[in-house]
A and B are shown apart, each in its own frame.
Chain A
């Protein structure tokens, strides 16, 4: 079976840094993706880690440790517009499709 765990809610202050963790259990793991979804909107791709280590894309970074079955998304210089749900998703071997977690709702406060 597969499972993904991430915190259900996180609150952070504008301008601060926030880290959203994701732990996974899966029978076949190829990589970890992160998607952002605003209320009423479509999920949009943020980042992908196929190898251990840090990937940086502007204010967003994502990290993967295969040995720990663990990853995180790091958001820096938080802005109000970053208030959204963030999903980690496992890219599974053999299927070439994504298994999504339940999401973390991030609220950025002034």
Chain B
């Protein structure tokens, strides 16, 4: 079974530039998550989709971050404009989620390492 795919793996940009990350979840997984992980910290949830609808985006800095999941499969996360403090690893994860509440194992992709100069 293929895992969660992310691209690019690394990105270096200058502040005020724009950047976009792509994620392809595990086939059949309805729920997709984007996390930001700053060095030395745990992953912080940015946005959660179930199919193509947003479930939780309470921690997404909406003035500069946006995300979409068209057709309920692939997703893109965009930062525009980037700030120095956005330097982090951006992790995508997916889970099966049948719709009933309960523990769903999240499967993480390898992440995109962003450095903002």
Q: A residues bordering B, Cβ < 8 Å?
A: 4, 30-31, 33, 41-45, 48, 50, 87, 89, 91, 95-103
Contacts and interface: CB of A to CB of B under 8 A. Distances in A.
B75 interface: no
B67 interface: no
Interface string B75-111: 0000000000000000101000100011111111111
Binding site secondary structure of chain A: strand
Interface residues of B, number: 25
Contact of A44 (B44, B103, B108, B111): B108
Contacts, number: 55
A100 B110 contact: no
Given A87-B42, A97-B45, A100-B44, A43 B108 contact: yes
B70 interface: no
A44 B97 CA distance: 17
